[in-house]
C-alpha cells in the first residue's frame, strides 16, 4: 500500500526538508566529527568516483521521509552515494567500516507510509541503487528474471514486454518502487507467486565486511539452479537478509509466471459492514482449496474512497467520520462497505468453473455480489481500470492518490500493519479494536486486508493526516504507536514497521524474554562488528551503538 | 527415497556394529578422555534422569548407519540420550557445553541412504527424539499441526485420522521416519504443499547455549500466527536451522491440506528411453501453469524394479546390467523404461479437465501413456497400491524393498542427489553423465527424478550394493564421491548429502573462494563457540575442531 504524494509536490516544494535544504543542518553520524565525515566521504569519492557521491541539499531532500511535518525530521542523511557496480558497493562498505560511517541502503527510495528513503540513524550515508537498475536476464523457458536492486516495477515490466516474453511479474500497486527493496521488506504483491511473499529465489549479498556471498544454489559457481531452487546444501541464509541489516543485496532472482490463457479480474462488493467476517471465512476456504490462488485486496469504504476522492469532498468535521457519511460514500461511489478485488488465471474452462463456484460461495452472504470479466492477453496492457492491470503485472502510477485523503497535496499517512489469522473471529476482534482506537484518537478508519496466504492476513491500518498540521501529524504517529503496543499485547505483530516505531514494533516480539533480540544481536555482532549497515533496522543495533545507549527513547 | 532394510534384519543381526556390540570399542569424542566422557554422561543422567541415558551396545547399535560394511563404521556414538521435554534438551545442551561433548540430534534415526542415525564425529552423544513424539495440536479450520521432533509420519497420519480431521499431510514413501527431521533435511514429500519443501511454518529451537528461540511469528508471545505466517518482524531465521548445526528444533508447525473432493492418482509409462527429455519439458509446462500441482516421482526401470524385485531375479553378471535385460524387465513387469507416478486433487470438474489436458499433452510423445482413476475420500485409506496411498497422505512400510536390489536382506544403498534445471537439455546431460559413470564403475543405474518445483528437480542416483561385500561397499562410496565432485564442476549441487561425503559435497559450493563456508563458520562460531552441536553437519565445523584439523581427509 505504497501511496505517496505526487512526485512534483514533494520534489518541487521539499516540504519536509526545509531545515536541510536551507543548509542549516548537516547531520553527522553518532560518534563522528564533521572532519571525520568529510574524510569518509572524500575516501569514498576517491574510491568510486566523485560523481557518485552527493551531499547537496537537493539530493539530501530527495532521500527523506515525505510524510513528516516540515522541518521536524531528525533522521536525515549526511550524503547519498550511488554505486554503479557490485565492486563499488564493496568499496563503500569497506570504507564505511574504516571510517565508522553508517550506510543505509535503498533501492528506489519509495517506502512511503513506512518512512520513505530516510535512514534510522541521523547522518547515515544513504546508499541509493537508482543507478544499478539493469534487468540482467529474463528466461522464458524457466520463468525468471535476475535483477539489480535499483530495478523498478516499471523497468521489470518493460523489459519483459520489450523481450516479447510470455511472462508476467507479480507487481505492487504503484510502479515507481523497487522490486528488490519491496521483496526485502516482505512487501505484498498480487499475482499467484506472491502468496507467502515467495517470488524471489537467490540473492547476491555484499556482507558488512565487503565479502560477496550468493545464497541458495548460487553458493556454487555456475550453478544454473541459482534462480530456480531456493536452497543449496546446508543452511539457507536468504531470508536472513530480508528486513535486516546483515548485508546489502546486489542481485536477486525473481520468478515470473507464464501468461495464462485467460485472466479474469473480479470484484466483490459487500453492503452490510457486519457481514465482513463471513467474507473472510468464505475466502479462507476458497484459498485453502486453491480456487483463489493470488492475493486479494479487501478494502473498507474509506480506504477505497481515499484512492478516488479526498476527505474534504465528503466531510469537514474533526474526529472520525460518522458512519452515516461512510454509508453515503459507499452508495454515492457505488463501492459498498467493503470491496474486494481479486482474480482468476488459467484455462478458460477452469476459470469458468471457478468463477461459478466463487460466485455461489460468496453470494450466499446476503449483501455480497461478485462480478468479473474474462480477458485474453491482447487486452491486459490497456485495461481501463489500473487495479485490473496491476493484478496481471502491469504497473502504473494511477493508484497514487491515497495520501491526499487528509491534507490534499500536503497529505501523508503512516501505516500500521499487523498479521492476524484469517478467520472471522480474529479479523472481527482486530477490527473492533482498531476502529475503536481510531475513534478515540479522532482518525478515520481506513482498512486494507491483504491475505499473506490462505491462513493469515495483514490488516493494514492507513492513518491519514495533513503534513502541514503539526498537531495532527504528532497525533497520527502517537496513535500508530499506541496501536502497535496494544496489538502486540494481544499477540498481533507487524509484518513491516514504520521507521518511527521499528524499535517499538520489534519490542513486541518478546517470547522468552526477547530471545529473538538476543539472537538477532548475536548474528549482527558476528557479521557486522562495527555496526555500520543500517543501524536500527528492524530494531537491530550493533554493539557499538547499543553500548552508547541506542535505541534512544 | 528413504528405503532401508527390514527392521528385523538390522536390529536382529546388528551387522554393521559388530565391533561395538561386542564391547571392544567405546569411541570417545575428540579431545576428551574416557573419564571426561564418564563424567559428562553422569552429569547428564543426574540432570534429566538415568533412564534417559543409554550406552549399552544394543542401544548404540540402533543408532548407526545400517549400510556400512560390518565393523567398518568409525562414526559410532558413545551414548544415546532420549529427552522427554524441551527443558531436558536445554539441560543436555548446557552440560554438553560444560563438558565439550558433541551432540548429534536425530528424530527417528531413519536417514538411510544418507548415513542413518550415525553422527559425523565418532563418540558424539546421539540425542534421540523418539520419546518426544506428541502431536501437540491439529487445527482443522486453519489446516496445520504442531509437532514434536520425534513424531513419525505414522504418528501424524494417525492423529489426523483419530481426530476425524478432513486434512491430509504431505508424507514420504516410508512412514517410519520423522516429520521434523525429514523437513530439516530438505526432504521431499509428495502432496501440493511439498513443492519448494514449504510445508513447515515456525520452529522452536534450543540454541547451542541452551536459550530457547521461536522463529517467525513465534518470536512474539501468544502470537496465533506462529504456524500460519512464516515470518515475523525483521530477519527470519527458520531456514537457518535446516541442514545445519546451529540449534536443535523442538517444535514445528506443519501445514495440512484440506481433503479435496476428488483425488486421482496417475501413472505415465514411457517405453522409449530416449523420449524422457520430452517428458521433462512437457511436465515443466504443466507444473508452471499449475495443472500439475504436487511432486511427481519419475523413476527409470531399474529404480522401480528395485522396489518390486531383486537384481538376482534378472541377472547375475558383474558390472552394470545390460540394456537388453533392462528392456526385458521393463516389459516383463509392465513398467516401461520410465514410470511417473503423480496425481490430481480438486473438484471433480477441474480434475476431469486437467486429466484430459495432461493425457493429451503427454501422449503427444509417441511411446507415452497416461492412466488414472478417481477416488473420493472414503477410498483413500485402503487403496491397494501403496504409492497411491502415499500421494494422499497415507504412509506405509510397503515401499521398503529398494535396499535389497543387491545383497538381498544384506543390501544397502548410498544416494547421490544433485539438483538440475527441469529442462530436457539439463536432465539429458546429467543422465548421460550419471549413466556413463555408473557403467564405468560397474554399478546399475537407478534413477529417480523428483521435481523440487516447476523449475528444478533432484536427480536421485541410488547406488545399490551388498553390505557383506567389502570391495563392493567401498566401490559404491568411491563411485558416489566421484559423482559429487564431477557434478560439482558442472554446477550441479546436492540437495542433501550422505554423511560420508558431506564435506566433499559442501566443498563444491565454492562461489567467491568459498564465501558460503566463511559465512557459515562465522555464524557457527557466534552461536556455538564450543562447537558442540552436530560437528561436521553439512561441512560446518566449529573453531575448536577446525583448529584441530577437522574435517580430516
Residues A36-53 have pLDDT tens digits of 999 999 999 999 999 999
Which residue from B243, B293, B455 is facing A233, i.e. has the nearest CB?
A: B243
Nearest-Cα residue of chain A relative to residue B231 = A495
Residues A292-310 have pLDDT tens digits of 999 999 999 999 999 889 9
Which residue from B347, B452, B488 is facing A220, i.e. has the nearest CB?
A: B488
All residues of chain A having their beta carbon less than 8 Å from the beta carbon of residue B235 are 239-244, 246, 520, 523, 538, 540
- How far apart, in whole angstroms, are the C-alpha atoms of residue A511 and residue A507? 10
Q: What is the DSSP letter of B212?
A: E
Please judge whether A221 and B491 are an interchain contact, meaning their C-beta atoms are less than 8 angstroms apart.
Answer: yes
pLDDT of residue A408: 86
Q: How far is CA A398 from CA A71, A314, A394, B204, B225, in A?
A: 29, 22, 11, 44, 33
Vertex B419, ends B418 and B421: CA angle to 5°? 140
**Which cell numbers in the block locate residue B270?**
514411457
How close B22 comes to chain A (CA, Å)? Answer: 35
Q: Which residue has the cell 566463511?
A: B518
CB atoms within 10 A of CB B198: 17
- Choose from B219, B230, B495, B502 for mutation: most chain A CBs within 10 A: B219
**DSSP per residue, A128-146:** E-TT---EEEEETTTTEEE
Q: Does A232 contact B at CB distance below 8 Å?
A: yes
Residue B284 among the catalytic residues: no
pLDDT of residue A73: 85
The whole-chain average pLDDT of chain B stands at 93
pLDDT of residue A25: 64
Q: Which residues 441-480 of B are in CB contact (within 8 Å) with A?
A: 452-456
Residue A114 among the catalytic residues: yes
- What does the pLDDT average to over A81-105? 98
pLDDT of residue B409: 87
Q: Roughly what angle, to the nearest 10 degrees, separates helices B276-288 and B348-363?
A: 150
How close B184 comes to chain A (CA, Å)? Answer: 9
Catalytically annotated residue among A94, A114, A144, A477: A114
CB atoms within 10 A of CB A162: 10
Q: Does B154 contact A at CB distance below 8 Å?
A: no
Catalytically annotated residue among A108, A295, A311, A496: A496
pLDDT > 60? residue B5: no
Nearest-Cα residue of chain B relative to residue A229 = B456
pLDDT of residue A525: 98
Please judge whether A143 and B454 are an interchain contact, meaning their C-beta atoms are less than 8 angstroms apart.
Answer: yes
Q: How far is CA A194 from CA A198, A262, A360, A478, B455, in A?
A: 6, 19, 26, 32, 17
Please judge whether A421 and B228 are an interchain contact, meaning their C-beta atoms are less than 8 angstroms apart.
Answer: yes
pLDDT of residue A239: 98
Residues A482-506 have pLDDT tens digits of 999 999 999 999 999 999 999 999 9
pLDDT of residue B233: 97
- What does the pLDDT average to over A440-446? 97
Q: Residue B29 — pLDDT band, cuts 50, 70, 90?
A: very high
Backbone angles phi, psi at A415, to 5 degrees: -110, 140
pLDDT > 80? residue B17: no
- How far apart, in whole angstroms, are the C-alpha atoms of residue A186 and residue B8? 50
Instruction: Find out whether B80 and B55 touch, Cβ atoms under 8 Å.
Output: yes
pLDDT > 70? residue B2: no
The pLDDT > 90 percentage for chain A reads 88
Residues B137-165 have pLDDT tens digits of 999 999 999 999 999 999 999 999 999 99
Helix (H, G, I), strand (E, B) or coil at A450: strand
Q: Does A506 contact B at CB distance below 8 Å?
A: yes
Q: Which residues 267-286 of B are in CB contact (within 8 Å) with A?
A: 284-285
Q: Residue A552 — pLDDT band, cuts 50, 70, 90?
A: confident
Nearest-Cα residue of chain B relative to residue A209 = B519
In terms of Cα–Cα distance, which of A31, A4, A2 is closest to A410?
A: A4
Residues B49-102 have pLDDT tens digits of 999 999 999 999 899 888 888 888 889 999 999 999 999 999 999 999 999 999
Q: Roughly what angle, to the nearest 10 degrees, separates helices A424-441 and A276-288?
A: 140
Please judge whether B538 and A511 are an interchain contact, meaning their C-beta atoms are less than 8 angstroms apart.
Answer: no
Q: Residue B407 — pLDDT band, cuts 50, 70, 90?
A: confident
Q: Does B142 contact A at CB distance below 8 Å?
A: yes
Q: Which residue has the cell 548407519?
A: B65
pLDDT of residue A36: 96
Q: Residue B25 — pLDDT band, cuts 50, 70, 90?
A: low
- How far apart, in whole angstroms, are the C-alpha atoms of residue B370 and residue B283? 13
Instruction: Find out whether B299 and B306 touch, Cβ atoms under 8 Å.
Output: no
Which residue(s) pair with A341 in the sheet? A267, A297
- Comparison of pLDDT for A75 and B358, the residue scoring more: B358
Which residue from B455, B518, B522 is facing A228, i.e. has the nearest CB?
A: B455
The pLDDT > 70 percentage for chain A reads 95
All residues of chain B having their beta carbon less than 8 Å from the beta carbon of residue A238 are 239
All residues of chain A having their beta carbon less than 8 Å from the beta carbon of residue B423 are 141-142
Q: Does B492 contact A at CB distance below 8 Å?
A: yes
- How far apart, in whole angstroms, are the C-alpha atoms of residue B533 and residue B249? 12
How close B490 comes to chain A (CA, Å)? Answer: 8
Which residue from A223, A284, A346 is facing B493, i.e. has the nearest CB?
A: A223
Catalytically annotated residue among B190, B284, B495, B544: B495
Instruction: Find out whether B297 and B388 touch, Cβ atoms under 8 Å.
Output: no
Q: Does B501 contact A at CB distance below 8 Å?
A: no
Please judge whether A235 and B239 are an interchain contact, meaning their C-beta atoms are less than 8 angstroms apart.
Answer: yes
What pTM, to 2 d.p., does this model score? 0.95
Predicted ipTM of the assembly: 0.95
Instruction: Find out whether B76 and B25 touch, Cβ atoms under 8 Å.
Output: yes
For B45, half-sphere exposure in the C-beta direction (CA atoms, 13 angstrom radius) is: 13
CB atoms within 10 A of CB B87: 15
DSSP element (H, E) containing A286: helix A276-288
- What does the pLDDT average to over A11-17? 28
All residues of chain B having their beta carbon less than 8 Å from the beta carbon of residue A289 are 258, 260, 346
In terms of Cα–Cα distance, which of A281, A479, A421, A467 is closest to A361?
A: A281
- What does the pLDDT average to over B19-30? 65
Catalytically annotated residue among B214, B295, B341, B496: B496
Nearest-Cα residue of chain A relative to residue B451 = A229
- How far apart, in whole angstroms, are the C-alpha atoms of residue A502 and residue A506? 6
Amino acid at each position: 500500500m505504497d501511496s505517496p504524494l505526487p512526485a512534483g509536490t514533494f520534489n518541487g516544494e521539499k516540504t519536509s526538508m526545509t531545515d536541510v535544504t536551507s543548509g542549516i543542518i548537516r547531520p553527522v553520524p553518532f560518534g563522528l566529527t564533521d572532519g571525520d565525515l568529510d574524510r569518509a566521504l572524500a575516501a569514498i569519492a576517491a574510491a568510486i568516483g566523485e560523481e557518485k557521491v552527493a551531499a547537496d541539499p537537493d539530493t539530501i531532500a530527495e532521500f527523506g521521509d515525505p510524510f513528516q511535518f516540515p522541518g521536524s525530521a531528525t533522521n536525515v542523511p549526511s550524503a547519498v552515494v550511488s554505486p554503479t557496480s557490485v565492486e563499488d558497493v564493496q568499496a563503500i562498505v569497506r570504507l564505511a567500516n574504516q571510517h565508522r560511517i553508517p550506510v543505509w541502503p535503498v533501492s528506489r527510495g519509495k517506502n512511503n507510509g513506512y518512512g520513505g528513503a530516510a535512514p534510522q540513524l541521523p547522518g547515515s550515508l544513504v546508499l541509493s541503487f537508482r543507478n544499478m537498475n539493469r534487468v540482467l536476464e529474463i528466461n522464458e523457458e524457466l520463468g525468471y528474471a535476475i535483477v539489480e536492486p535499483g530495478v523498478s516495477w516499471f523497468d521489470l515490466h518493460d523489459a519483459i514486454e520489450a523481450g516479447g516474453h510470455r511472462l508476467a511479474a507479480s507487481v505492487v500497486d504503484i510502479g515507481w518502487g523497487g522490486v528488490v527493496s519491496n521483496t526485502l521488506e516482505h512487501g505484498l504483491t498480487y499475482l499467484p507467486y506472491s502468496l507467502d511473499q515467495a517470488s524471489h529465489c537467490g540473492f547476491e549479498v555484499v556482507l558488512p565486511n565487503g565479502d560477496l556471498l550468493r545464497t541458495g544454489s548460487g553458493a556454487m559457481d555456475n550453478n544454473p539452479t541459482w534462480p530456480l531452487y531456493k536452497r543449496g546444501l546446508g543452511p539457507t541464509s536468504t531470508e536472513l537478509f530480508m528486513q535486516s541489516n546483515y548485508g546489502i543485496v546486489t542481485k536477486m532472482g525473481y520468478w515470473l509466471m507464464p501468461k495464462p490463457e485467460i485472466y479474469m479480474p473480479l470484484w466483490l462488493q459487500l453492503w452490510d459492514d457486519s457481514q465482513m467476517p463471513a467474507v473472510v471465512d468464505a475466502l479462507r476456504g476458497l484459498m485453502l482449496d486453491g480456487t483463489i490462488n493470488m492475493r486479494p485486496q479487501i478494502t473498507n469504504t474509506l480506504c477505497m474512497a481515499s484512492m478516488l476522492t479526498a476527505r474534504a469532498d465528503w466531510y469537514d468535521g474533526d474526529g472520525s467520520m460518522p458512519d452515516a457519511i461512510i454509508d453515503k460514500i459507499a452508495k454515492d461511489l457505488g463501492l459498498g462497505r467493503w470491496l474486494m478485488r481479486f482474480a482468476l488465471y488459467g484455462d478458460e474452462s477452469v476459470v469458468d468453473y471457478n468463477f461459478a463456484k466463487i460466485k455461489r460461495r460468496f453470494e450466499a452472504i446476503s449483501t455480497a455480489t461478485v462480478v468479473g470479466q474474462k480477458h485474453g492477453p491482447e487486452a491486459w496492457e490497456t485495461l481501463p481500470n489500473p487495479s485490473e492491470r496491476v493484478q496481471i503485472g502491469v504497473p502504473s502510477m494511477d493508484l497514487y492518490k491515497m495520501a491526499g485523503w487528509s491534507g490534499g497535496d500536503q497529505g501523508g499517512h503512516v501505516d500500521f500493519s499487523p498479521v492476524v489469522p484469517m478467520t472471522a473471529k480474529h479479523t472481527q476482534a482486530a477490527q473492533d479494536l482498531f476502529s475503536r482506537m481510531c475513534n478515540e484518537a479522532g482518525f478515520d478508519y481506513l482498512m486494507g486486508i491483504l491475505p499473506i496466504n490462505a491462513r493469515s492476513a495483514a490488516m493494514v491500518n492507513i492513518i491519514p493526516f495533513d503534513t502541514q498540521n503539526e498537531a495532527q501529524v504528532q497525533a497520527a504517529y502517537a496513535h500508530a504507536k499506541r496501536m502497535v503496543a496494544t496489538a502486540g499485547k494481544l499477540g498481533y505483530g507487524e509484518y513491516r514497521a514504520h521507521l518511527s516505531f521499528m524499535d517499538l514494533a520489534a519490542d513486541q516480539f518478546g517470547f522468552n524474554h526477547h530471545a529473538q533480540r538476543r539472537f538477532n544481536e548475536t548474528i549482527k555482532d558476528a557479521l557486522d562488528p562495527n555496526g555500520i549497515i543500517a543501524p536500527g533496522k528492524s530494531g537491530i543495533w550493533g554493539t557499538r551503538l547499543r553500548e552508547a545507549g541506542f535505541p534512544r527513547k
